[in-house]
Structures are given as C-alpha cells and as structure tokens.
Chains A and B, each alone.
Chain A
C-alpha cells in the first residue's frame, strides 16, 4: 500500500474541504434568511459533494492500486447508467455482458502499466469483438445502431475515463512534484471547478446562447469559465504538474473548453432520449454521467497533452 496523498495533495484536499465548508455555511445562512425559497436541491448537491470528496480522500490514502480499482468501478457505474439509458434490442443482451467485461480488462492494462494495449484495446479489439458478436446474434435489423451505441458508450465511459487512472502510472521524463496522483488531482479539480465557474459566470452575465441543446449555457459563461480555469491552472501547475506557465495556460484552456464539449455531449444524449437526468445515483446532481460529463472528453485530452510534452 503506497500512500499517494503527498503534501501538495493533502493541501489541495484541505483547500477543497475549505471551499465545500464555505459553500455549506453560506447555503445554511441563505436558507435561514430566505425562508420561502427552496434550497433542498442545493443542499442535496452539496451533501453529495461532501461524500464524493470524502471517498476520494480515503481512496487516495489507500494508494495507487485502490485508486485504479475505484476509478474502474466508477467506469462500470457510468457504463451501466449508459446502457440503462439508451434503448437496446433484445438480442443485444448477451453482447452487453461482453461489453461490461471490457471494464476489468481495460483497467488491468492500467494496473500493469501496459500503455500499448491500454490505448488500443477498446478502439481496436472491443470494436472488432462487438461487431462480430452482434453478427453471431443473427439480427441484422438495427445492427448499425446497436454496434454504434455500444461502442460509443465503451469509448466514453471506459476508454476515456480509464485515462484518469493511467495518469497514476504514466512514466514521465521529468520528476512530477506530486507524482501521478498530482496530475489526477489537477485535472479532476480543474474540470469540476470549471463546471462551477461556467455556471456562475453564466448566471451573472449570461445573454447569448451557445447551443440549442443546453439553453442554460451562454457564451459569457463559457468564456468566463475558460478564463478563470486557465488562471487557476497556472497558479496550481507548479505544485501538481511539470508545466511552466505557457503549458499550464494551454492545459487550463484545453480542460475548460473540452469540459464544456463533454457537458453538452451528455446533454445531447439526454435530450435525444427525452430525459432530464442520466440517473439518480447522486442526489442533487442526477446520475453518474451528469457528474462525469465534462471529464469524459477532457481526461484523455489532458493525458495526451501531458504525455506528448513530458511522457517518458
């Protein structure tokens, strides 16, 4: 068991707890002052955040292996939520079971640090296997939709999210100030911070809609969020990453803008199906996918950005 809660991460977690505590205190104050307003959603949301952060602390304290298993389990939950959400065919049932099997296999490559298979297993082998297994199922009506739906789900929830776990074991040419866990903390913190920042900028100045898909998202919120996240990325970089300020600036802008795209992608899925939330596992947030939406696309981009410049 290796404790990957190094000093910078301890401090970071402490900061996160401080932010959450402040948020909880201000909500309680507001709740007492504005008695006629309904705060239950906000309270539930903050409470759930508390549990998430508590669990993250425990997992980090248990070490790299525990963290890989935990992220793998989150992938499984996200995939299950996706398969519950999207319509499938009766003949797809057994094939879905094989798709689930990709979760432990993909995280095993992370476990042993085999980058080569980690990066091609789902795009090459899972694609091939699912396409063939669905042919063996013998139903051609709806084949394209099924093969596409299943593989896209695997890409988003297993392949992309497993990049978060690979950050923990990725070799680098330079020494990392807080290890692989520092990179993980950096990308997690910035994407989640960016969600909140875009929300606040949007609430304060939002006027011009970005897309029909998410009427609540404005250009003002998006740009304000990108700027704030980029500034924070530059400030935090020396403690968690090998980035000098130009790299940190690029990483911050990348995380913020791609985070937005991930967010609206999951919104588009929900809109297509006619549902508001992807699930109800996280009170106040919705489902697992509602919480992870911005990470699904930002995680692989962040890893490949870091790996291109500093990968060993």
Chain B
C-alpha cells in the first residue's frame, strides 16, 4: 500500500514533470500498447529513463500492473535501493550471474501467471547510447513458454543521449517512442524469436530519421 502510494507520488511529482518539460516524449503507435496482462513489452535499453518512459505511457491506475525486469546485482545492491526498486518501481529482480539452482526466469513466469505486464530488455543491460545490441536468448525462452502472450516491440530513441550509462546528469532532448503491433510466439513462424524481435526494432529505427551520434575520429579508423 505504501509502495503504491509512493509510486503514484513519484510519477506525479518527478517522472511526469521531467518527461514532459525537461525531455518531451513523442509517442507513435500508442494504440498498439497492450492494455491488460499478461503481456510483455520489449524495448532497446540505453538509459535508466527507459523504464520510466515505458511505464509513463500507462495511466496511474494501471501502473501497478507493470513489472520491469531488472538485474538483481545492480538494483538489489543496498537495502535502500532494493526497497525502492521492489516497492516503488515494482521491479522483478533477476539474478544475471552466479550459481543457478532454479530457473532464473521463474519470477517472470509468476508475474505473467498473475496477468501482469512485464517490461523486458532483451539486450540484457544498458548498452552504448542509441545503439541496439544483440538480443540475448532470454526473450525466446520466455516466449516459447508463453506462446499465447502478446509481445509488443517498442523502440525508444534519445534516452541514451539524455541520460546515458555512467553519467548522472540529464541533458534535455526530445525523446521518440514507437510502439509496434504486438505479436504472439505461436503466430510467428520463426525458430529464433529474439532474432525476430531484434529485426523488428531495427526496422522501426530504419523507418525514419534519428540524429545518431557523430562517430568520433572517423579519420583514425579510415
């Protein structure tokens, strides 16, 4: 109860003003967003802001349905961070490394069984700003186990410029979000679902103009 109240306060007082005034989020395909669980949102991951932007596309009433999958080694590091992550953001902590006695995706299965909307980053961690890294196997395993669940591919652009890994200062940029039509594993004829989704995101990105970073020292490489 306290967690939920804090989540709403956090979104109203901090997330919404930052995303509305300092950044400015432009969403395309909002109608493609699955309204009810079980569903999976997959997106490229370049910034801590990714999760907040994806969550903010939902109304305050539906916030609690959203469960971002996050790395336990980072988000559960200190007791305070762990408490805030699990109670306010409502993450599903997943062990990225270490001894595996059981299926590490187990908590995600629970969330989907409880009709929640899982936010999943197939790249595994925040990569280079505005680059889409190779998708890991996790999303395939998940989709094969839940072939009936809608998976919505979402491309975000600009968040890696606004707040990249390793720099705590936010710089204002407009941010673009494109939500593609959700697909189910059982409906798409592919053996490699993660590759399929990776290509979907890359197609979304190639479909329009984005100001990528200028490569540094192009002459040195040539």
Known: A84-B211, A94-B169. A279 touches B174 (CB 8 A): yes
Q: How far is the CA of A253 from the CA of B212 in the complex (A)?
A: 40
Is the Cβ of A85 less than 8 Å from the Cβ of B211? yes
Is the Cβ of A87 less than 8 Å from the Cβ of B213? yes
Residue of B169, B213, B214 ringed by the most chain A CB atoms within 10 A: B214
* Chain A interface mostly: helix
* Interface membership of A128, Cβ < 8 A: no
Size class of B's contact patch?
20 to 34
Interface residues as binary, B167-183 with A (CB distance below 8 Å gives 1, 0 otherwise): 10101111000000000
* Interface membership of A172, Cβ < 8 A: no
Is the Cβ of A273 less than 8 Å from the Cβ of B209? yes
For residue B161, which residue of chain A has the nearest CB? A93
Q: Which residues of B contact A145 (CB under 8 A)?
A: 214
Residue in contact with B173 in the complex, picked from A84, A141, A280, CB distance below 8 Å: A84
Known: A87-B214, A139-B216. A281 touches B24 (CB 8 A): yes
Is the Cβ of B174 less than 8 Å from the Cβ of A80? yes
Is the Cβ of A280 less than 8 Å from the Cβ of B26? yes
Q: How far is the CA of A234 from the CA of B219 in the complex (A)?
A: 57
Number of A-B contacts defined by CB within 8 Å: 61
Q: Which residues of B contact A141 (CB under 8 A)?
A: 216-220
Q: Which residues of B contact A77 (CB under 8 A)?
A: 24
Is the Cβ of A274 less than 8 Å from the Cβ of B26? no
Is the Cβ of B213 less than 8 Å from the Cβ of A80? no
Residue in contact with B216 in the complex, picked from A80, A97, A142, A280, CB distance below 8 Å: A142
Q: How far is the CA of A280 from the CA of B174 in the complex (A)?
A: 10
For residue A73, which residue of chain B has the nearest CB? B21
Q: Which residues of B contact A88 (CB under 8 A)?
A: 161, 211, 213-214
Q: Which residues of B contact A254 (CB under 8 A)?
A: none
Known: A93-B161, A279-B26. A81 touches B216 (CB 8 A): no
Q: Which residues of A contact B93 (CB under 8 A)?
A: none
Interface residues as binary, B196-222 with A (CB distance below 8 Å gives 1, 0 otherwise): 000000000000110111101111100
Q: Which residues of A contact B172 (CB under 8 A)?
A: 76, 80, 83, 100
* Interface membership of A91, Cβ < 8 A: yes
* Interface membership of B153, Cβ < 8 A: no
Q: Which residues of A contact B213 (CB under 8 A)?
A: 87-90
* Interface membership of A43, Cβ < 8 A: no
Q: How far is the CA of A139 from the CA of B211 in the complex (A)?
A: 20
Interface residues as binary, A273-297 with B (CB distance below 8 Å gives 1, 0 otherwise): 1110001110000000000000000
* Interface membership of A96, Cβ < 8 A: yes
Is the Cβ of A274 less than 8 Å from the Cβ of B209? yes
Q: How far is the CA of A86 from the CA of B218 in the complex (A)?
A: 18
Q: How far is the CA of A251 from the CA of B212 in the complex (A)?
A: 41
Is the Cβ of A90 less than 8 Å from the Cβ of B171? no
Is the Cβ of B174 less than 8 Å from the Cβ of A93? no
Is the Cβ of B173 less than 8 Å from the Cβ of A142? no
Taking CB atoms and an 8 Å cut-off, the chain A residues in 243-274 that contact chain B are 273-274
Nearest CB of B to A223, in Å: 33
Q: Which residues of A contact B169 (CB under 8 A)?
A: 94, 97
* Interface membership of B158, Cβ < 8 A: yes
* Interface membership of B129, Cβ < 8 A: yes
Interface residues as binary, A91-135 with B (CB distance below 8 Å gives 1, 0 otherwise): 101101100100000000000000000000000000000000000
Is the Cβ of B212 less than 8 Å from the Cβ of A87? yes
Q: How far is the CA of A275 from the CA of B217 in the complex (A)?
A: 26
For residue A83, which residue of chain B has the nearest CB? B173
Q: How far is the CA of A145 from the CA of B218 in the complex (A)?
A: 14
Listed by A's residue number, 12 A-B pairs whose Cβ atoms lie within 8 Å are: A77-B24, A85-B211, A86-B211, A87-B213, A87-B214, A89-B216, A96-B171, A141-B217, A141-B219, A275-B208, A279-B174, A281-B26
Give 4 new A-B contacts, CB below 8 A, not counting A84-B174, A281-B174: A80-B24, A80-B173, A83-B172, A90-B216
Chain B residues packing against A (C-beta within 8 Å): 24, 26, 129, 158, 161, 164, 167, 169, 171-174, 208-209, 211-214, 216-220
Across the A-B interface, give the 6 residue pairs with the lowest CB-CB distance, nearest first: A275-B209, A84-B174, A141-B217, A87-B211, A89-B214, A84-B173
